[in-house]
Structure 1
Amino acid sequence: MKVKGFTLIELVVGMLVIGIAIVMLTSMLFPQADRAAYTLHKVRSAELAHAVLNEIWGKRFDENTDANGGAPACGSGLAGSSACSATLGPDSGESRHDFDDIDDYAGVSGLTINSNMLDSTQTYLSQYPGYQLSVSASYPNGLADRNTKLIQVDVTTPSGEVITYHALRSNY
């Protein structure tokens, strides 16, 4: 009669192989979950910044630029053109939905992420929970050259990382 079973050596070798497999899983595979969340935060921050930049990009260049495009661009030096505004920031009493030019976003920190998205019933907060947003606009070359504005959007992810996005807008 032949007895079938495992020897002590076979059991030890089997436990050793399982131990090595568990070590490899915990050191290589499981940390990938953290990296996947990190990548997701970056993608979501890019989506949020893109949504806000699209809103800003749809505005006219300057308060002194004709909204209908009939007059020459401000600061162009052409007959009938006016000088571009020297002060950046929202006009007095303006809320975000009243912003009519890109420099109205200058100095706006924590752009009401709890307010509705432009022309939507959804809020930024409901679509991007845990994210924070800050927007600014400036003249990159100082007041001497008012024909270019730099828009900066800082998005803070739920993990606390601040990702900065820039866009340049020229006066045309």
Structure 2
Amino acid sequence: MLNAHCINQRGYSLIELIITIALTGIAVIIFFSVFAVTQRQSVEPVFQVKSAELGQAYLEEIGLKRYDENSPTGNALRCDAPSAPACSGALGAEGGETRVLFDDIDDYHNLSDSPPQDALGNNRTGFNSFTVNVSVTYAGTDFGLTAQALKRIQVTVIAPDTSRYVFSQYRGNF
């Protein structure tokens, strides 16, 4: 004779278990997809801060140099002023100058550092995957002056995730 107690037992059927496993798998996949996107975006602020640090370092280094190759040391007298030498008019390093010997702003024109370096040519610690490109152009006409009255220094920092951050400053022939 059958026991009435055994007939009323409840449990999960094989179909219910398979459906539960499938739904759990789908939920896990969705969760990890969202988590992966969030994880990638969490490193972006780090790259932004490090890029800003690099951009500022390069702008400070360049901004401390003379305005032009023909500017007297200390910028006490500007080139093209009465009784002063004429400005060179050429952008870029003169006669094989290396980074350590750069003495005026436009020597940095077309500089590309990967990895970024300091003024002495040493690689900057913690920036191995970054690239820095520098462009120097005459920009006096941006403000209604003669072209050679101002130079625009533009530093482009390329982060490891290929994001580009551009930093600029103007320097006058004063």
Query: TM-score, length-normalised on structure 2?
Result: 0.73
Aligned AA (1:138): T
2:85 corresponding residue in structure 1: 82
Per the TM alignment, residue 93 of structure 1 is displaced from its structure 2 partner at its CA by 1.6
Quote the Cα distance in structure 1 between the aligned partners of 2:38 and 2:45.
Answer: 10
Please identify the structure whose Cα radius of gyration is greater.
Answer: 2
- Specify whether residues 66 and 163 from structure 1 end up closer, same or farther in structure 2 by C-alpha distance, changes over 3 A only: same
Per the TM alignment, residue 171 of structure 1 is displaced from its structure 2 partner at its CA by 1.5
Q: SS of the residue aligned with 2:74?
A: coil
Q: Please tell me whether the aligned partners of residues 132 and 157 of structure 2 are also in contact (alpha carbons under 8 angstroms).
A: yes
Written as runs of structure 1 = structure 2, the 5 A alignment for 1:1-172 is 25-26=31-32, 29-70=35-76, 72-75=77-80, 77=81, 79-108=82-111, 110-111=112-113, 113=115, 116-119=117-120, 122-124=122-124, 126-141=125-140, 144-172=146-174
Q: SS of the residue aligned with 1:92?
A: coil
Per the TM alignment, residue 32 of structure 1 is displaced from its structure 2 partner at its CA by 2.2
Per the TM alignment, residue 82 of structure 1 is displaced from its structure 2 partner at its CA by 2.5
Which runs of 5 or more residues in structure 2 are unaligned? Answer: 1-10, 13-20
Q: Please tell me whether the aligned partners of residues 138 and 147 of structure 2 are also in contact (alpha carbons under 8 angstroms).
A: yes
Quote the Cα distance in structure 2 between the aligned partners of 1:118 and 1:131.
Answer: 17
Of Structure 1 and Structure 2, which has the larger fraction of its residues in helix? 2
Once the two structures are aligned, what percentage of the paired residues are identical?
Answer: 30
Quote the Cα distance in structure 2 between the aligned partners of 1:82 and 1:93.
Answer: 22
How big is each residue's C-alpha offset from its partner over 1:18-38, in whole Å with a ceiling of 9 and x where there is no partner?
899868854655532211112
